[in-house]
DNA sequence: TTGTTAATAT
DNA sequence: GATATTAACA
């Protein structure tokens, strides 16, 4: 309804509002009433008079639309003016003007608070009556704008009608007063047109953390290192206008919670694995271990497609042992930084986080990422398929593969790795070896689940951090940073259940003992958008015994490296956040994908005869099932026969799928895992859960 | 002032 | 419930 229409209605038949406005005048004093009548008529109002309040009320009730406004004396014998005011307000919601010779402020206040739209003091002047129409207009306008409020008012009136006047009075008074205030505001707006809001009350525009913005945020955080990432610095690094320190602080808060959640998920996963059985007593000890090379990356649920496999190895280990470590990344259009690190120098590593940045050119990513990886993948897959056999029972699982289910709500199907791999907009993470890292002894020394002989007790620490930012829609879900750090547990002779016999060499160059080694795949019940796993290289391992305790590696590592986090009130230490930092820091600023292939090559070379660990850790779902190496090897060999390109371009299918299905043959497994498009590129299954693989060793 | 956390708003 | 803003506190 337009204002014109409102005024037409207000004007009644003639449409010349306020001319002809229908006014009911109530006053017990005939003289005053007569005078009032005359004045109102002088204003060309349509006037009805009565000397009795009850009569007035009756008239109003008979036809609620008969009058536009009521003018009532306060003091009347049959009914108090305020009572009439109240009832009118409740029942008709007509504007009521109080009239009284008493100009006492309290009385005026009472009238207004009880809902009177005006309070006139006798003798009333025509000038005052000339503008009373505005109350009608205002009331009508208000009704149109806020029918609900009016409705409420009416409702209150109805309900309170029978109750004590005092109760109703207060209630009504408030309502009416509020209305009055609103009316005044409206009036102001009308008068001032577009009034400038008070800067003090003006709300800040809501900051939407777009992907780009978040990307800058994460970049800044990475650059600073999570430890030093404080709102102000982040803001400075982001160099974005329009956001305040508070905004950043808020986002940082959320980001931290996110990381924490991830970490807790990891812990949960570990715990579940341990609790699910399949782990013998010795394996249970793994919790006490510093953690063995298995680690996984987690990503927030969101839309991170991940595709990419890379392997890395610790530099120290590589140099000496050439033992390869593999990392599986499933991150398309996301940035992932992975770098092995040594536990001992976490602080330094963290400081270097900022240096980590994805550095792979899209063109090369495909090849480089997958180069040399196939074997490991194969192992994983094979093991998964063969999961029915319990390798752990046999006693040795040097290598652990960890895969986490995808948390991603949206998984982006990848047409091909090359296409899916980081584009200019995406920040793929890549594993890089850190040549500078040196192994320091002691890591393996105390490991229960894992025994390595000839390791020299060198600490082995690997870490991966992945940060994935997808370009797809939701920013919050795009936090795909995952971090995993794994430390190789020190070897604990007591925990050794067997010796690795290096009888067989896996296609990827890994040697495994049929009886003692197996792949173990760990899948997390939790969805991880991206998971990456790293296999810890076991350089000089002559004997390796593995217990199915790799799952706990991450946790143990965290504990080992949590000194810094411990400083925080929040428990970051237990989570992967810490790891994340470490990993990031470890990643060489300029690492290139080429390293992956190189690493892989090394891996092949190193593994020969030296490493057996091949456990694929299939997370919670089936912790115990293990695949025997022999079978794995066989499968792996078959896989190897396939073109290398296929492997490189291939992507893993969700682990979940794999888990649920047992494969009788390699082909089945492969089919299940990989779908290809016409170009021969692998297609990522929408429910792809195979986000990460971690290789415990070799 | 700044950072962190919790409460509150959207 | 997820996010963002704001308040409160160290």
CA–C1' gap, A214 and C1, in angstroms: 21
A158 within a domain of the structure (yes/no): no
Whether A180 sits with its Cβ under 7 A from any strand B atom: the answer reads no
Number of domains observed in the structure of chain A: 2
A577 within a domain of the structure (yes/no): no
Q: Return averaged pLDDT per consecutive 10 residues of chain A, 698 residues in all.
A: 49 64 89 88 90 88 87 87 84 86 84 86 86 82 54 35 36 40 41 44 73 85 84 86 87 86 74 57 37 32 32 33 34 36 39 37 35 35 38 36 35 34 36 36 36 36 36 40 37 37 38 38 38 35 35 37 37 40 40 40 40 38 40 47 44 40 44 41 36 32
Find how far residue A515's CA is from the centre of its chain: 44
A415 within a domain of the structure (yes/no): no
**What is the predicted pLDDT for the residue at A15?**
57
Q: If residue A23 lies in a helix (H) or strand (E), which one and from where to where? A: strand A22-26
**What is the predicted pLDDT for the residue at A237?**
86
**What is the predicted pLDDT for the residue at A65?**
84
Q: What's the token pair of residue A520?
A: 């173990």
Distance CA A60, CA A68 (A): 10
Query: Sign of the C-alpha dihedral, residues A91, A97, A103, A108?
Result: positive
User: Which nt is closest to the CA of A257, judged by C1'?
Assistant: B5
Contact A69, A135 (CB under 8 A): yes
A124 within a domain of the structure (yes/no): yes
Distance CA A429, CA A435 (A): 18
**What is the predicted pLDDT for the residue at A454?**
37
The CATH number of the domain where A122 resides is what?
3.40.50.2300
CA–C1' gap, A246 and C6, in angstroms: 9
* Interval A14-48: pLDDT, tens: 557 778 889 999 998 888 888 889 888 888 899 99
User: Which nt is closest to the CA of A230, judged by C1'?
Assistant: B3
Is A131 found in the same domain as A241? no
DSSP character string of A517-533: -EEEEEEEEEE-S----
Is A245 found in the same domain as A134? no
A35 within a domain of the structure (yes/no): yes
**What is the predicted pLDDT for the residue at A3?**
46
- Residue that finishes a domain, picked among A271, A303, A337: A271
Residue bearing tokens 């994805």:
A358
CA–C1' gap, A290 and B5, in angstroms: 32
Task: Note the strand C nucleotides within 7 A of protein beta carbons.
Answer: 2-7
**What is the predicted pLDDT for the residue at A9?**
54
Is A134 found in the same domain as A226? no
Query: Sign of the C-alpha dihedral, residues A44, A49, A53, A57?
Result: negative
The CATH number of the domain where A232 resides is what?
1.10.10.60
Task: Note the strand B nucleotides within 7 A of protein beta carbons.
Answer: 2-6, 10
User: Which nt is closest to the CA of A248, judged by C1'?
Assistant: C4
A399 within a domain of the structure (yes/no): no
**What is the predicted pLDDT for the residue at A254?**
86
Distance CA A660, CA A246 (A): 46
**Could you tell me how many residues make up chain A?**
698
- The whole-model pTM stands at 0.29
Question: Burial level of A344, CB count in 10 A (0-12/13-18/19+)?
Answer: buried
Q: What's the token pair of residue A682?
A: 């692998």
Is A125 found in the same domain as A35? yes
Q: What's the token pair of residue A473?
A: 């829609």
Distance CA A204, CA A155 (A): 37
How do strand A69-73 and strand A96-100 relate by DSSP bridges?
parallel
Structural domain harbouring A260:
214-271
Q: Give the three-class secondary structure for A284.
A: helix
Whether A233 sits with its Cβ under 7 A from any strand B atom: the answer reads yes
CA–C1' gap, A433 and B3, in angstroms: 35
Query: Sign of the C-alpha dihedral, residues A628, A629, A634, A639?
Result: positive
- Residue that finishes a domain, picked among A113, A143, A173: A143
Is A129 found in the same domain as A237? no
A80 within a domain of the structure (yes/no): yes
- Residue that finishes a domain, picked among A247, A271, A295: A271
A459 within a domain of the structure (yes/no): no
* Interval A471-495: pLDDT, tens: 333 334 444 443 333 333 333 433 3
**What is the predicted pLDDT for the residue at A277?**
52
Is A118 found in the same domain as A218? no
Distance CA A393, CA A104 (A): 96
């Amino acid at each position: 309804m337009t204002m014109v229409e409102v005024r037409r209605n207000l004007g009644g038949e003639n449409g010349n509002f306020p001319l002809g406005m229908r006014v009911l005048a109530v006053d017990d004093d005939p003289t005053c009433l007569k005078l009032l009548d005359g004045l109102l008529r002088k204003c060309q109002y349509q006037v009805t008079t009565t000397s009795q309040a009850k009569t007035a009320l009756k008239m109003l009730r008979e036809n609620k639309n008969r009058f536009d406004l009521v003018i009532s004396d306060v003091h009347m014998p049959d009914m108090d003016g305020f009572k009439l005011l109240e009832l009118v307000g409740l029942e008709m919601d007509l504007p009521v003007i109080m009239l009284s010779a008493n100009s006492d402020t309290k009385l005026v206040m009472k009238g207004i608070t009880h809902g009177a739209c005006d309070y006139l003091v006798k003798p009333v002047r025509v000038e005052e009556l000339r503008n009373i129409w505005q109350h009608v207009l205002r009331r009508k306008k208000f009704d149109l704008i806020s029918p609900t409020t009016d409705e409420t008012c009416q409702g209150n009136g109805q309900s309170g009608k029978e109750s004590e006047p005092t109760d109703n009075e207060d209630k009504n008074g408030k309502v009416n007063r509020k209305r009055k205030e609103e009316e005044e505001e409206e009036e102001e707006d009308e008068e001032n047109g577009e009034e400038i809001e008070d800067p003090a009350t003006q709300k800040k525009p809501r900051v939407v953390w777009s992907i780009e913005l978040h990307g800058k945020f994460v970049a800044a955080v990475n650059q600073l290192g999570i430890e030093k990432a404080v709102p102000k610095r982040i803001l400075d690094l982001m160099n974005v206008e329009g956001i305040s320190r508070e905004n950043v602080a808020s986002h940082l808060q959320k980001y931290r919670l996110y990381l924490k959640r991830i970490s807790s998920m990891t812990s949960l996963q570990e715990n579940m694995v341990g609790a699910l059985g399949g782990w013998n007593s010795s394996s249970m000890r793994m919790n006490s271990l510093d953690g063995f090379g298995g680690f996984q990356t987690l990503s927030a649920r969101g839309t991170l497609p991940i595709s990419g496999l890379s392997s890395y190895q610790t530099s120290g280990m590589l140099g000496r042992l050439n033992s390869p470590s593999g990392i599986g990344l499933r991150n398309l259009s996301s940035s992932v930084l992975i770098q092995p690190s040594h536990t001992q120098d976490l602080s330094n590593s963290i400081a270097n986080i900022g240096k980590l940045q994805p550095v792979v050119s899209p063109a090369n990513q495909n090849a480089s990422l997958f180069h040399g990886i196939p074997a490991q993948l194969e192992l994983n897959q094979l093991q998964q398929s063969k999961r029915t056999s319990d390798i752990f029972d046999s006693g040795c699982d040097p290598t652990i593969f960890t895969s986490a289910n995808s948390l991603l709500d949206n998984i982006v199907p990848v047409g091909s790795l090359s296409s899916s791999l980081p584009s200019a907009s995406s920040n793929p993470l890549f594993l890089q070896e850190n040549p500078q890292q040196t192994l320091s002894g002691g890591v393996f020394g105390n490991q229960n689940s894992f025994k390595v002989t000839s390791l020299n007790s060198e600490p082995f620490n690997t870490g991966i951090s992945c940060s994935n930012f997808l370009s797809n829609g939701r920013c919050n879900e795009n936090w795909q940073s995952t971090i995993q750090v794994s430390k190789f547990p020190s070897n604990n002779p007591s925990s050794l259940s067997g010796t690795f016999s290096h009888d067989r060499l896996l296609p990827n160059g890994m040697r495994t003992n049929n009886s003692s080694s197996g792949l173990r795949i760990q899948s997390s019940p939790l969805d991880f958008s991206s998971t990456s796993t790293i296999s810890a290289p076991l350089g000089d391992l002559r004997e390796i015994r593995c217990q199915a305790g790799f799952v706990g590696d991450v946790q143990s590592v965290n504990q080992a490296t949590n000194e810094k986090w411990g400083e925080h009130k929040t428990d970051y230490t237990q989570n992967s956040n810490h790891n994340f930092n470490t990993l990031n820091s470890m990643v060489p600023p300029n690492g290139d994908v080429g390293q992956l292939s190189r690493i892989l090559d090394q891996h092949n070379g190193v593994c020969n005869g030296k490493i057996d660990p091949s456990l694929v850790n299939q997370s919670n779902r089936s912790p115990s099932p293990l695949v025997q190496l022999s079978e794995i090897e066989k499968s792996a060999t078959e896989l190897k026969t396939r073109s290398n390109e296929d492997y490189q371009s291939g992507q893993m299918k969700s682990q979940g799928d794999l888990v649920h299905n047992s494969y009788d043959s390699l082909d089945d497994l492969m089919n299940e895992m990989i779908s290809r498009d016409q170009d021969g590129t692998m297609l990522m299954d929408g429910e792809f859960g195979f986000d990460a693989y971690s290789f415990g060793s070799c």
